[in-house]
Structure 1
Amino acid sequence: MIRPLLLLLCLVFQAIPAPADAGGAGAVTVAAASDLKFALDEIADAYARSTGQQVRIVYGSSGNIARQIAQGAPYDVFLSADERFVEDLARRGLTVDAGSLYAIGRLVLFAPQPGAFEPDEDFAGLRAALAAGTVRRFAIANPEHAPYGLAARQALEHAGLWEPISKRLVLGENVAQAAQFAAGGNTQGGIFALSLAMSPAIAARGRWVLLPESMHAPLRQRMVLMRRASSEARAFHDHLRQPEARAILRRFGFSIPD
């Protein structure tokens, strides 16, 4: 039997559909970094209620989405967790322009409850737990293609813990899966997006601390329209820059650029 939390997380962090299934008549198709799961769902639901326009959202790691777009995936809008992926697509001529910065993300150190360590911004609790052997599995997103995974690696390197913890890592395909692993009881903790830690599904399952921005490169998140974007897609893209949408992003812990 699947435990209740795992069932909940399976419902929350749905599998990413194949690019071929992304489109749909009359729908705007958005590809988004998985740290946006809760915030963007709320934005899209409110937008649908006020306009009647349906928005289909595919979540994944920014690197994998960018690769899909380069291979012809039929997305209208791309919200990346790392602006470099958008800039690369723009250089290839696949977007209408270089996009715009819509948010800056943050990382948290998370421990499920009851936990093997107390999260703190200096990693003292995690360092002691590693030395005592009580941390056997630790979750982050895959640094190879997930911006939050790369930032997590940088934070661990900054703390001098990358080598001690590297053999204990459980890598999520994206940051939402890393949060699932960290909160699901199969690991002793993890590092993932503040925006996910602030969701009720995760917040109730453990304790977390916000990590200093100085520990990793800035998580500058950029969005862009694809060349195929319809007028409906352009309208939703414009809505993401309006005060209502920005307020929701801010509520989920994102810093919003001027």
Structure 2
Amino acid sequence: MSILRRSLIAGLAALAVAVAIPSRPVVAQSGDVVVFAAASLKNALDEIAADYTKKTGKKVAISYAASSALARQIEQGAPAQVFVSADQKWMDYAAAKGLIEPASRSDILGNRIVLVAPKDVAKPIEIKAGFDLGKFLGNGRLAIGAVASVPAGTYAKESLEKLGAWDGVKGKLAEAESVRAALLLVSRGETPYGIVYQTDAAADPNVAVVGTFPPESHTPILYPATLVKDAGADGTAFLAFMRSAAARKAYEKQGFTVLY
């Protein structure tokens, strides 16, 4: 791949983070409920927050990013009241640092990871032990969340290793700072394939799912939600709404498995 093309891919990944997913905590107005949530929750939580505001008059300010970035921002003093992670690792990190209210923590959603391609060229791929994803990529690259820090990337690497496909792709990665940034690379046709959550694929009309990773090939994808320390009554009320029957429809519409 040319240096120019590599630079373009890197630039688009950065743009995706800058435009779609704020990399810094949101600045809340007085009286807002402040929520830090995994990037893959954006469509569902935006709808839930709008419904909550309509019903209560309380505004909800939501910062979306990779769970790792959000946990570290909370650690640095960012004023979140609710934290929703896309994996247990970064929720455990926040718990170990004494940043959350442990009694309020519970797994609210499940998800799956899928292989996506630009919709106009998408063809089905059977994902199974021994499949050669590197062959399908050719000279292209695989859009993926940063495997060391983004939960979607971590799940993807784990699955590819178990299926015997990792060695064929590890030198062809376009790692992004969030799963939504990885999705954007595929959506714009800058990479031929990407690994994202099935809920992300459902949110972008420019991509199509070409294969689904076997759930037994990776750690279960669970979304724990919790109150941050000293969240107060507003945070408690919104977390309860996120776990309510009223919120279920928004999650299911995006393809999440509701666990509460």
Q: TM-score range by the shorter chain?
A: 0.7 to 0.9
Secondary structure at the aligned position of 2:258 is classed as: coil
TM-score (norm 2): 0.86
Secondary structure at the aligned position of 1:30 is classed as: strand
Query: Any idea what the Cα deviations from partners look like across 1:102-158, whole Å, max 9, x if unmatched?
Result: 11121111111343753333388x72x733763511111011111111001112112
Match of 2:237 in 1: 235
Whether the aligned pair in 1 keeps the contact of 2:20 and 2:180 (CA below 8 Å) is no
Deviates more, 1:162-171 or 1:132-141: 132-141
Structure 1 residue 13 displacement after superposition: 5.3
Secondary structure at the aligned position of 1:203 is classed as: coil
TM-score (norm 1): 0.86
**Closer, same or farther in 2 for the Cα pair 1:26/1:163, shift >3 Å?**
same
- Give the Cα–Cα distance (whole angstroms) in 2 for the partners of residues 107 and 119 of structure 1: 14
- Give the Cα–Cα distance (whole angstroms) in 2 for the partners of residues 37 and 118 of structure 1: 27
Match of 1:160 in 2: 164
- Give the Cα–Cα distance (whole angstroms) in 2 for the partners of residues 22 and 229 of structure 1: 16
Which segments of 5 or more consecutive residues in structure 1 lack a partner in the other structure? 1-5
**Closer, same or farther in 2 for the Cα pair 1:193/1:132, shift >3 Å?**
closer
Secondary structure at the aligned position of 1:37 is classed as: helix
Which segments of 5 or more consecutive residues in structure 2 lack a partner in the other structure? 1-11
* 1:139 equivalenced with 2:133 (yes/no): no
Q: Which runs of 4+ in 1 moved over 6 A?
A: none
Correspondent of 2:28 among 17, 23, 27: 23
Structure 1 residue 17 displacement after superposition: 4.9
**Closer, same or farther in 2 for the Cα pair 1:166/1:100, shift >3 Å?**
same
- Give the Cα–Cα distance (whole angstroms) in 2 for the partners of residues 17 and 169 of structure 1: 22
Correspondent of 2:61 among 52, 56, 63: 56
**Closer, same or farther in 2 for the Cα pair 1:69/1:212, shift >3 Å?**
same
- Give the Cα–Cα distance (whole angstroms) in 2 for the partners of residues 64 and 56 of structure 1: 17
Query: Any idea what the Cα deviations from partners look like across 1:34-73, whole Å, max 9, x if unmatched?
Result: 0101111111111111211110110111111111111111
Aligned residues: 246
Secondary structure at the aligned position of 1:198 is classed as: helix
Cα RMSD of the aligned pairs, angstroms, is 2.4
- Give the Cα–Cα distance (whole angstroms) in 1 for the partners of residues 222 and 207 of structure 2: 28
